Amino acid sequence: MRNRKIRKEKEREKNTVVPASAAVLAVVAAASTAAVVVAVTVVVAVTVVVVVVVVVVAVAVVVAVVVVVVHVVVTPLKAAAWKSEWMEYNGFHDEKLSKLSYWKKRYKDKNKVFEWFLDPDEILEPLLNNIGPIAGKTSMPLQCLDIGCGLSDLSLHLMTQSDQPMSVTLVDFVPDALQFQLRRIIECQQEMQVAPGSIQHLVCADTIHLPFRDGSFDVVVDKGTMDALLKDKIHGHFKATLMTSEVLRLLAPGGRYLQVSDEDPDSRLLLLERFILKSSFSQPIKEENKQNNSDERNCQGQLPKNYNLSSWKFKTITSKSGSEYFLYWVENLQL
Ligand SMILES: C[S@@+](CC[C@H](N)C(=O)[O-])C[C@H]1O[C@@H](n2cnc3c(N)ncnc32)[C@H](O)[C@@H]1O
């Protein structure tokens, strides 16, 4: 009886102990689950924060690098390229404008008109006003030479706007420029009304040695060509002197040399006078001088007898864009 009591007692004890340890276990389990969850959450949160920080820093570094590269490398390069393009377009830079190789490359496969400095409509009126007095003196077609014609339409406009028939000879040392001019003449024959008797000739030649007889032209027009020669730092002045000499040789009595340039009169007028003076030295020695065994003309720096030039004059021409250019002219006064 007592034993049974004891057993019952133990059983009761057992029954009470089992639920107590289960609760503890449950609590422990819950606590460890919570700890794991907290730990995982903390790890995830820390990872997220680290990743976000790394991404933000990386983006900031990339942005900073891009900004630095753009400011330090790309922008200056772009500015330099733009400046060089602008300078090239405006004919400022460079020596290469005096080189045949440059013009050959530039005119290769070109089929669009390109005007240096000024469009024909900006310069035509002053040119025609200047030519007017010569035109009035002859009933023959006016002999005009466009020296270094390039891809310009100037001579076509001169022919269409002049009341008097004109024979225009276009000269350039680049065959492609003349091919282009030939295509233009054919193209414009229909649409442009030229005075009857007007005609164009195309001649490939160097301005410093022109294949025409003395006194063949009433007007020589040079739009930007001497400027191109003068870009040659070493030989520019020499070439310009030879060109001046050739142009003056070709001018008929009463004829005019008209030059369009962007160089202002302060420097250009002096240069032009100098080229004329120097060109007198580059004239061949005349037979009578050879016989006298004298070269007095050269020694004294006087112009040869066949030159009787007016002084250089100029007119300022403002382009549509507001830039200033200059028309210079000189007249062969010998009548
Ligand atoms: C500045 S561009 C002027 C082109 C044209 N007159 C115009 O107004 O658009 C100079 C031109 O002269 C030509 N040229 C330069 N040097 C020359 C030379 N020594 N002999 C013949 N032509 C030359 C070039 O081929 C080019 O067509």
* Contact status, residue 264 vs residue 142, Cβ threshold 8 Å: no
* Contact status, residue 281 vs residue 250, Cβ threshold 8 Å: no
Shortest-distance Cα residue to atom 3 of ligand 1: 224
Give the H/E segment covering residue 79: helix 75-89
Helix axes 175-191, 100-107, angle to 10 degrees: 40
* Contact status, residue 123 vs residue 154, Cβ threshold 8 Å: yes
Shortest-distance Cα residue to atom 20 of ligand 1: 206
Q: Is 207 in the pocket of ligand 1 (CB under 6 A)?
A: yes
Nearest-atom index, ligand 1, CA of 177: 27
Give me the pLDDT at residue 295, please. Answer: 39
**For the chain, which residues score pLDDT lower than 50?**
285-302
Shortest-distance Cα residue to atom 11 of ligand 1: 148
Separation of CA 118 and ligand 1 centre (Å): 14
Shortest-distance Cα residue to atom 13 of ligand 1: 148
Q: Is 122 in the pocket of ligand 1 (CB under 6 A)?
A: no
Give me the pLDDT at residue 113, please. Answer: 95
**Tokens 């004294």 label which residue?**
300
Query: What is d(CA 9, CA 15) in angstroms, rounded to the nearest whole number?
Result: 10
* Contact status, residue 232 vs residue 95, Cβ threshold 8 Å: yes
Phi and psi at residue 128, in whole multiples of 5°?
Answer: -65, -35
* Amino acid identity at 48: V
Q: What six digits make up the tokens of 104?
A: 């050959």
Shortest-distance Cα residue to atom 14 of ligand 1: 148
Give me the pLDDT at residue 237, please. Answer: 94
Query: What is d(CA 158, CA 168) in angstroms, rounded to the nearest whole number?
Result: 9
Give me the pLDDT at residue 80, please. Answer: 74
DSSP state letters, 118-173: S-HHHHHHHHHHHHHHHHTT-SSPEEEEEET-TT--HHHHHHHH-SS-EEEEEEES
Query: What is d(CA 291, CA 94) in angstroms, rounded to the nearest whole number?
Result: 45
Nearest-atom index, ligand 1, CA of 174: 25
Cβ contacts of 265 within 8 Å, gap of 6 or more: 314, 326, 328
* Amino acid identity at 295: D
Nearest to 332 by CA among 181, 149, 134, 162: 134
Q: Is 124 left (phi over 0), alpha (psi -120 to 50) or beta?
A: alpha
Q: Is 236 in the pocket of ligand 1 (CB under 6 A)?
A: no
Q: Is 157 left (phi over 0), alpha (psi -120 to 50) or beta?
A: alpha
Q: Which of 119, 121, 173, 246 to mutate to test the pocket of ligand 1 (most atoms within 8 A of CB)?
A: 173
Query: What is d(CA 257, CA 245) in angstroms, rounded to the nearest whole number?
Result: 11
Nearest to 224 by CA among 114, 121, 313, 311: 114
Separation of CA 125 and ligand 1 centre (Å): 22
